[in-house]
Amino acid sequence: MRPFRRIFAFHLLLAFSFPAFAALAPLAPRLSPSRVSTQSSSRPPSKLFAESRDDDPLSAAARELARKVAASVDAGILDKLAAPNFVNLSSISPFEFQKASSAFRDEIGQAAKVSGGGSAQEVEAASLNLTLTENLNGFLWIAQVTQGRSQQTFFVTVARELLVQARQPSPSVTLQKEFLLSESEPILDAALLFASPGAAPNLLVLQPDRVALFAQENGAWKFQSESPIAHTGAWPRDIRGRLQQGVNGEDAVLPGVLCMISAGSALSASCKPGKTQWSLSTELPSIQPSVATTTGNTFTVPPLGSQEFYSLAAIVTPVSSGTSTPVIITTPDGRALLFEDSSSPITSFHDWGSDIATLRSTGHSQWPLLVTRPGDWTAPDSVQAFDIIDYQAVAIGGDINFDGPITALWSEEENTVLAVSRNLKTGMYEAYFIRAVYNQ
Amino acid sequence: MSFRLKMFVLFPLVVVAAVAIVGVGVTSITRRSFEQLDTSHTDAIVSQFQREFVNRGQQIARGVQDISGSEATLNMAIHLSARDIDPSLYGHDAVSVASDHHFDFLEFAGNDGSIISSMQWPARFGYKEDWLLQQADWRARGAFLQKVDTPDGPELGLIAVSILPVAGSNLYTAGGERLDKSFLSSLSLPQGMRALLYVNLGADFSPQNLTAVDGPITQPERFAPLVARELQQPGEITTMIHWTRNAASDEVFHLLPLRGPGRDLLGILFVGSSRHDLVLLERSIRRLALLVGGIALALGILLSWWAAVRVTWPVGKLVAGAEEVASGNWDARVAIHSHDEIGALAGAFNQMTGQLAEQRERLIQTERVAAWRELARRLAHELKNPLFPLQITVENLQRAREQSTADFDEIFRESTGTLLAEIQNLKKIVGRFSDFAKMPHPELQPLDVNEMVRGVTRLFEPRFIAPGEPKITTELYLDEKLPVIQADSTLLHRAIGNLVLNAIDAMPDGGKLTLRTMTHGDGVRLEISDTGAGLTREECERLFTPYYTTKQHGTGLGLAIVQSVVSDHGGRISVASEPGRGTTFRIDLPEHPPDVTVVEPIPIDSKKSAEPVMGRKA
Amino acid sequence: MRRISFARYTTNSLLVALLFVAPATSAARRPRYGGTLKIDLQGRVTSLDPAQKQGSVTGQIAQDRLLELISDRLVKLDQFGEPKPALAISWQHNDRFTHWEFDLRPNVKFQNATPITSQAVANSLQAVNPGWHVTAANDSVAIESDSPSPEMLHVLAETKNSILLRQADGKILGTGAFRLTTWVSGKSAVFMANDDYWGGRPFVDSIDVQMGRTTRERMIDLDLGKADIADIAPDRARIDASRGVKISTFDPAELVALVFESSSTHARDIRIRHALSVAIDRASLVDFVFQKEGMPAGGLLPQWSSGYAFLFSVAPDPVAARQLASQISPVHALKVGYDAADPMERMIAERIAVNAQAVGFLISSRAISADSVAGTANRAANLTEYDARIVRLPMSSPAPGAALENFLQTLVQLGELEPSLAAPLNDPANPEQLYSRERAVVDSYEVIPLVHVPEVVGLSARVRDWMPARWGAWRISDVWLDGAPQ
């Protein structure tokens, strides 16, 4: 018997090794400046910013402002100004702002080098507030240099048009769903098993009390064999389960139970209780979330401390280089939190369902994020694809509707997401594969 | 002060005093009853105020409970109990709710006491009402007085608070009514009384904080000391304000302190009752009293005058009559014919003087008879003594002749000699009587009494020291400062000599004769004292009676002569004597003797050493 | 900044309307012609002639709104405040910005069908700008000004520079999309669609305007459908929205400020004015008095226009205020006047009094009778009995330069500002210059900016394509009425 094979497109390592990084709150109800105090000037650009060039107008303006400041202030204090307080009062995204502000920092740094700096003792301590703001016609960089009681203010304007031109539109995407099968019992996960490359695949289905194997006949999946899942004690009411690659074959991971499945001549599952590690995002094998409680339906992951979540999705761009992969989690309080390389969220998204998954698609600069709707299980659900651009969720196409709530949404092989929906009309659990079609 | 004047003053005094006593009595009784009336009115108003206070308080507490329990408030509380909720949405609620419940004040405050919505001062939202948090159970507290801040400054409110707890946080509803004019107007005030409310919310007294039901308050600053006093000595005070000099404007104020939950003085209710009526009544009483007093006084004066005249006129006549009698007019009579006691008194007086006159007449005649009888006895006595030898001699001579004896011639010579001698003796006696009858008038010339006394003493000295005579020593005490008086030295010398002879006669066994002179008044006094047997009272009384003598041989004219000499000099002679103690004659002589006549001497009571009175004839 | 602001900055004006009145335009359809649009205005307009100042701020705003109906300017502003051709199709200026020439749009007629001439334009502009020298050429107009006017285009876009034909009988005619047919001064007006409008006939046939309507009346009219558009007091916006009224909120384009009377002796000491400025809690004013409609103002210009308003602190500093107050003795009680007819001004004055009281000042707020509130012309003597008063200054233009100059001139005319502070700016487009000038004014504490208030408009359900400019221009000619007879 040939070993089962699961296809992975990317294996990215997530490094949760953060410098101190304060969360941004760019949309405060009133003028309440939020500050970024990034000390390291060597941060590479994030992948969450639409592909940006060095000569983007904001950065250019920031450099100009830096030169203006450098030209007017005492050379001795330039090195003190290399780490200003940045404030973003504009509608520019935090990242875009960050990028431009690092440009300012570089420019000031260089100016400091050129001027040779001065000894800190000689001159009075100085501080620099750098603010990006916005007026009727465009954007304003404002630098306030405070030295003792004296304060100098410098302005550089950026015409709005320049920025509008600098933005790239996202291509739109259409989601398609492929019906697999429907069961009266909940379907926790399903995976295609290929006996051999090119051979017809089987469908392995995980349910609370069994794993079942289906084979395709006349375009429909027919039951082949099953093996019970032995477990002591009752399952959580909202039970979740995951089929993931184990050491030698498929493992079925359930709350507090790990089953090794052998699909030899007869399907068998040998289960043992114990702490289980889940692979929620196949892109991130290094994250090994575990269920928060064996009686609950949430996960925790060490880098996020005790933060419980329902689901986790990685935001991945194929071109991205570097060491960090941003992730989004959906939390029990109904929010979706974006973590880039910090244990505190950079931003949050609202009005999302608790199930999200990454669609590992090739034809797009960023893997779309599939998001369910908010609400409870009495209402039909839908799934929509989003891109995260400038730390904002941008819908990249319409949504596909289901006849009932989504009870499971797992990222599968390339360009595939498994969705299980409980049909409100029939009460049956229906499994679908969701795929993306790009219209560029 | 005469009896008439006394009566004249006493009578009106009695009348005025009586009227005054009545006036004062009536006034004080009236005042007391007025004050009692005021007190009862004040008490009534105070209790009325307190009743009103309680009733309104209950209404307000109910109203606040209703608001706090209303659906809208509950929704507000639920909404606000959530985190990050902005209360400004409810900023205007208090105004509308308050107008629904006719509240002057209404505030909603959050869990920390910060104002969510304020009706009285909407702009104070967000500021804290710390006092709201100071009590846990406001419902039990009911309504209470509370200083309420408003844009126009603090006001006094009757406030109730209700707490609506939702999800562990409280929503405070504090509402109530203004304690002001309208509140006072609910009090029914009797005529002459008024109620004022002072709202004590600032540090200093402020006239604006004083309100009355009707119209403005004149001189509000006059209440400042009262408020200060109430602040110093908390409690109900009653005091008076004199608005003007006119006492009718006076007003008595009863202060009722109004306190907040912290016992702090927030207001004062002044219940004022005007003294106007009382003062007017007092004045009319006083006027009446004065009028009555005045009339009574006039009448009293007339009456007392009449009575005085009526009573004292006869008394006066009696007095005049008595004085006439005293001055010797024994025929004085009082012509009063009334039939009262005075009339009887006058009758008795007239009768008394009548009897006095008769008795005197009778006495004079008796004395005259006695004197004549005494004179006759003397004459007989004096003349009988020589007559007997005459008879004897004549008879001897007759016998001798008959017997024709040889010795007849002898006997004849002897007998005629004896006859002549006795006839001489008779002549002498007759001569003495005629002397007394024709006593000469003194011829006045300056006389040194001391010198005269020495002269008399010298005259008798040989006799004092002659053998066979009783041993008599003389002592002179002469005042050398004696004035020189006008007197007849011969007569005085004779008189003093007589007295000295008397003294010698009074001391047959010898003794001490003392002569003493001294100034007396504007004259001189001369005393001659012996240490003889002394005289009895009767002897003293009759001593100066002519022809009275205590001696075996004596005409009894000596002292009578002395007395007539003294009285001719306008002087007086008196005698002081006690049996066994000797006798002292005292003579007082004026410096210038007037024309004097002898007045019948009256013996003095030697025990009282009284002087015999020698009054002058007016 | 609020997310909604951002959206408004970055989307086109259609989206602006969408964001304001989302439900109404859920079903997009092509516009219909016809119907009578009913407008309720708070202000009373006594004359449509911009040369005639109105008695109150609300009247002034109402006059602008009505002028927009009947007239055009040489230049109009797009949604970003950029000058675009209107009656003028092109323009040139010399380097010093003292000489401007505008080529007029051909075939434009006044509403009495007389064609618009360069002379008429020149007369119209000269009438309201005595400082200019306006001359007419063939098809163009030249404007000479002594001082450089780089902001000329924005100034010309202000409603006061509407091109009007002033007739002998005092009536005025414009070239606008609507023409005035009935006028009851201060009460009502009727406008009919101008079929020959050069920009194309507006959709509605007529506009029925009621003036001097109270807040309550305007609300009732909206509820009963007696009004399609009514201006709403900012503090009512939230409440009315919660009652289901469609609310359209503009950018905060009106400055509410506290200005000190130059005659006041009590406020002569700058420390008093300074202390008061830092004692005021502007955020609370916005939250409560304006029910969150508006922005705390530290400077004269709003952040959306200038972009640097945040440089002016709006945070209260009671400690500093107390320190300043403690340096002054005696601190006299200040009297702050407010328009008796304006409950919001009253509330502001009272709130300022409360803030001041909290730091040891005594301030009493007094109503000023309506006739003496009006702008420069008829300042009654009784104003002198106030140390300071609340003023409302609408922005004449969204462009910061033009708006600031207009603010300063107005303040100087009110007599509250040192004239030197109102000197023309060399380069009004340069934010650095604007900032330094504004800073100088604010630091004089003669004017204490309080709040920037937006104009708020309530709409009936049948109003469609409501696409006003962000700073208040209504653009009624684009509006059409749902259910209006075709």
pLDDT digits (tens, 9 = 90+) for B336-378: 777 888 788 888 888 888 888 888 888 888 888 877 887 777 7
The span from the CA of C228 to the CA of C224, in Å, is: 10
C284 to chain B: which residues are within 8 Å by CB? 125-126
Q: What is the pTM of this model?
A: 0.63
Instruction: Compute the distance between CA of residue C297 and CA of residue C393 in angstroms, rounded to an integer.
Output: 12
Contact B545, B372 (CB under 8 A): no
Percent of all residues in chain A with a pLDDT value above 70, rounded to a whole number: 76
Give tens-digit pLDDT for B522-531. 889 999 999 9
Q: Which amino acid is at B70?
A: S
- A338 and A349 in contact (C-beta within 8 Å)? yes
Chain C residue with Cα closest to A142: C308
> Can you give the pLDDT at residue A390?
67
Residue C100 predicted with pLDDT over 90: yes
In this prediction, residue A138 carries a pLDDT of 86
For residue range B586-605, list pLDDT tens digits in order.
Answer: 999 988 877 644 344 444 44
* Separation CA A335–CA C480 (nearest Å): 40
Residues C1, A131: C-beta atoms closer than 8 Å: no
Q: Is C5 near chain A, with CB under 8 Å?
A: yes
Cα–Cα distance for residue pair A203/A192, rounded to 1 Å: 5
Above pLDDT 90, what percent of chain C?
Answer: 45
C290: nearest CA partner in chain B? B88
pLDDT at A324: 65
Residue-wise DSSP of C465-476: -----TTS---G
Distance between CA atoms of B486 and B489, rounded to whole angstroms? 9
Q: Quick one: which of B569, B465, B473 has its CA closest to B526?
A: B569
Question: Alpha-carbon distance B31 to B252, whole Å?
Answer: 13
d(CA C390, CA C377): 17
Cα torsion for B414, B420, B426, B431, to the nearest 10°?
A: -140
| Whether pLDDT at A177 is above 70 | yes
The H or E element spanning position C318 is helix C318-327
- Range with lowest mean pLDDT among A165-174, A374-383, C85-94, C391-400: A165-174
C238–B89 CB contact, under 8 Å: yes
The answer to whether the peptide bond before residue C330 is cis (omega within 30 degrees of 0) is: yes
Residue A187 pLDDT: 95
Interchain contact, B125 vs C292, CB within 8 Å: no
Binding partners of C (≥3 Cβ pairs within 8 A):
A, B
How far apart are the CA of A395 and the nearest CA of chain C, in angstroms?
A: 16
List all residues 6 or more positions away from C163 whose beta carbon is below 8 Å from its beta carbon.
C71, C72, C73, C74, C87, C116, C120, C121, C124, C125, C174, C175
pLDDT of residue C376: 41
Supply the pLDDT for residue B470. 83
C94: region left, alpha or beta (phi > 0 left; psi from -120 to 50 alpha):
beta
How far does B115 lie from chain C, in Å, by closest CA?
A: 12
Decide: A27 and A108 in contact? Cβ < 8 Å: no
- Residue B501, pLDDT score: 85
Q: Do C1 and A157 touch (CB under 8 A)?
A: no
Q: What is the pLDDT of residues A351-393, one digit of tens each?
A: 899 999 988 877 666 788 999 998 888 889 999 998 887 677 8
Q: What is the pLDDT of residue B259?
A: 84
pLDDT at residue B297 greater than cutoff 90: no
Q: For residues B106-131, b (16+ Cβ closer than 10 Å) or e, as one string?
A: bbbbbbebbbbbbbbbbbbbbbebeb
Residue with token string 């033009």: C402
Closest CB from B86, B127, B151 relative to C365:
B151
Residues of C with CB below 8 A from A134's CB?
A: 1, 9, 304, 307
Among A134, A140, A157, the residue with its CB nearest the CB of C9 is A134
Mean pLDDT of B405-425: 83
> Residue A1: its pLDDT value, please?
35
Model ipTM? 0.65
- From the list C2, C6, C81, the residue facing A137 with the nearest CB is C81
Average pLDDT of chain B is 82
Give B438-477 pLDDT, tens digit per residue.
Answer: 777 788 888 898 998 998 888 888 888 888 888 888 899 9
pLDDT at position A365: 66
Let me know: does B408 contact B396? Beta carbons within 8 Å.
no
What is the nearest CA distance from C15 to chain B, expressed in angstroms?
28
How confident is the model over B9-32, as a mean pLDDT? 83
Contacts of C398 in chain A (CB under 8 A): 136
The residue in chain A having the minimum alpha-carbon distance to the alpha carbon of residue C251 is A136
B123 with C291: Cβ contact below 8 A: no
Note the pLDDT of residue A6.
34
In this complex, how many residue pairs, one in chain A and one in chain C, have their CB atoms less than 8 Å apart? 77
Confidence of residue C121 (pLDDT cuts 50, 70, 90): very high
- Interchain proximity C353–B127, CB inside 8 Å: no
> Is residue B55 helix, strand or coil?
helix
Q: Is C6 in the A-facing interface, judged by CB distances under 8 Å?
A: yes
Q: Please state whether C212 falls in left (phi above 0), alpha (psi between -120 and 50) or beta.
A: left
Q: Which of A105-114, B119-128, C13-22 is the most confident on average?
A: B119-128
CB contact under 8 A, B123 and C358: no
Distance from CA of A197 to the nearest CA of C (A): 51
Query: Which residue of A136, A140, A153 is in closest CB contact with C81?
Result: A136
pLDDT tens digits, one per residue of C414-444: 877 888 888 888 888 888 999 999 999 999 9
Which residues of chain A have a Cβ shorter than 8 Å from any chain C Cβ? Answer: 27-31, 33, 89-91, 131, 133-137, 139-140, 142, 144, 153-155, 157, 160, 164
pLDDT above 70 as % of chain B: 93
C206 or B280, which is more confident: C206
